[in-house]
Amino acid sequence: MANAHDFDLAVVVDDDPDIALAARLVLRGQFREIVALAHPKELLPYLDTAQPDVILLDLNFERGATDGAEGFRWLPRILDKDPDAAIVIITAHGGLTIAVDAIKRGAADFVTKPWSNERLVATVRSAASLRESRRATQTERSRAVEIGTPVAEIPLLGQSKAMHRVNSLIERAAPTDANVLILGENGTGKELVARELHRRSRRSGQAMVSVDLGAVTESLFESELFGHVKGAFTDAKADRIGRLQAGNGGTVFLDEIGNLPLHLQPKLLTALERREVTPVGANRATSIDIRLITATNLAPERLAQEDVFRQDLLFRLNTVEIELPPLRHRRDDIPLLLDHYLALYERKYGTPKRILGPDLVSALSDYDWPGNVRALRHATERAVILAEGDNYRLDDFPLPRRAGGETAPSIAFAPSGDDLNLERAERQMVERALRRHHYNISLAAAELGLTRTSLYRRMEKHGL
């Protein structure tokens, strides 16, 4: 049984007041408001201030007209006004020929007069749901673009041989629709590579939707990626398209794909093989056209293990494989990165330009940067905020120290004693990183080589 008032507004455009009244009586349990208009010329100004869930449009308004020509003249004008309008044609003449022609011109569906009340309700509800889906799609696309828009001041930088190889792969892979798997430690710039691939692709004019699978719980995986229909589960209060459908026509970036549990991997594989998704609770699949880019910090040998990652899914993902080097393997790029980020944050915070002496550049280049470029970026931001005088000093950068005050070549977070329990060791490492940085999540995450989201998950896991 239909829920009362599932939709907000229906508009009936018909010059026969009896038809308009009959439609209002049949549909009053479905819509909070039903407005009747006598002619399409009244509809266009009405659409300036209202967005109906569905429009029922008669095709003949002139006395004696039966060919639907007048309605066909108004149909494109309505769609120009509201491209996502769900229009149900009402026709008493011409039968299927006129109705099919109307659908070809952009109508959602049709009903014939005299109608069956059940048929009218079903048709109108279907059209209103279509309108709702179109709205959701636009909302998701807008949200995806907002979430996915790269910060303009964070380009993919590097002149080292290692980065030349990366850029060469990007240049060759980007124009194709080949799936790309990006490998690399946390903080090496995997998302920047994904965005560069999208920017140089034929899909660059469409949305790039990013999904951090490390932040998606198992229970919400299907809903997040495939969407759901209203009532599919307790909190599903409305239809919602998934991220794969939101990226239709564009690029979908699945970050931390290695975190996808083994038992959920077949669901993603099926969607990729069939190029379609079935929302949770739905009976029909929806086709998708996406370019898929994935990334993981898992080492290739771990990905090759059947108990970690399905190999048939891996073959789908790694048509092209790009491995990003850690910063310690491209130290030649560190001076360039320092110059870029210091200038960036000096502009952002309105601080004076300070001198970065050659000895300091050498010391920072010798540092291993366990958090890679992300850690270096956070360190330069801190330096810009805290530095005094005309020169940057080593103390301005949050690098760990040995007991004698010398800068450590890398961060040592080894657990104390002979305790080799991984859970306790992880808790100790997280605790020490948080204390070291006075619970600054960004800096602690960078030193641990984690994303902020991953650190929050570990903090919650260990009750921190």
Instruction: Give DSSP secondary structure letters for 127-147.
Output: HHHHHHHHHHHHHHHHHHHHH
Residue 406 lies in a domain: yes
233 and 257 housed in the same domain: yes
**pLDDT for res 364:** 93
Strands 208-212, 251-255: pairing kind: parallel
**pLDDT for res 134:** 66
Smallest CA-to-CA distance from 309 within 210, 209, 244, 213 is with 213
**pLDDT for res 154:** 58
How many CA atoms lie within 13 Å of 151's alpha carbon, on the beta-carbon side?
8
Does residue 35 register a pLDDT over 70? yes
Q: Which domain holds residue 13?
A: 7-134
Higher-confidence residue of 257 and 425: namely 257
**pLDDT for res 311:** 94
Show which of 103, 134, 165 is a domain's final residue.
134
In whole angstroms, what is the distance from residue 79 CA to residue 10 CA? 16
Mean pLDDT of the region 112-134? 82
110 and 153 housed in the same domain: no
Does residue 14 register a pLDDT over 60? yes
In whole angstroms, what is the distance from residue 245 CA to residue 289 CA? 8
Does residue 98 register a pLDDT over 70? yes
29 and 85 housed in the same domain: yes
**pLDDT for res 351:** 93
In whole angstroms, what is the distance from residue 277 CA to residue 137 CA? 14
Higher-confidence residue of 415 and 79: namely 79
Residue 57 lies in a domain: yes
340 and 454 housed in the same domain: yes
Mean pLDDT of the region 264-279? 92
**pLDDT for res 404:** 42
Show which of 298, 325, 352 is a domain's final residue.
325
Show which of 108, 134, 160 is a domain's final residue.
134
- State pLDDT tens for residues 367-398: 989 889 999 999 999 999 999 999 999 889 87
Judged by DSSP in three states, 379 sits in helix
Tell me the Ramachandran region of residue 389: left when phi exceeds 0, alpha when psi lies from -120 to 50, beta otherwise: left
120 and 166 housed in the same domain: no
Smallest CA-to-CA distance from 321 within 187, 207, 193, 149 is with 193
- Residue type present at position 15: D
Say how many domains are in the chain.
3
| CATH number of the domain enclosing 386 | 1.10.8.60
Residue 142 lies in a domain: no
174 and 296 housed in the same domain: yes
Mean pLDDT of the region 41-49? 90
Residue 53 lies in a domain: yes
Residue 2 lies in a domain: no
42 and 173 housed in the same domain: no
123 and 240 housed in the same domain: no
- State pLDDT tens for residues 210-224: 888 877 777 778 888
Mean pLDDT of the region 301-321? 92
124 and 211 housed in the same domain: no
Does residue 194 register a pLDDT over 90? yes
What does the mean pLDDT of the chain come to?
A: 83
Residue 235 lies in a domain: yes
294 and 341 housed in the same domain: no
290 and 405 housed in the same domain: no
Instruction: Give DSSP secondary structure letters for 72-119.
Output: HHHHHHHHHH-TT--EEEEESSSHHHHHHHHHHTT--EEEESSPPHHH
Backbone angles phi, psi at 320, to 5 degrees: -125, 135
- State pLDDT tens for residues 344-362: 999 999 999 999 999 899 9
Q: 159-170 in b/e burial notation, b at 16+ Cβ within 10 A? A: ebebbeebbebb
| CATH number of the domain enclosing 196 | 3.40.50.300
pTM: 0.58
205 and 236 housed in the same domain: yes
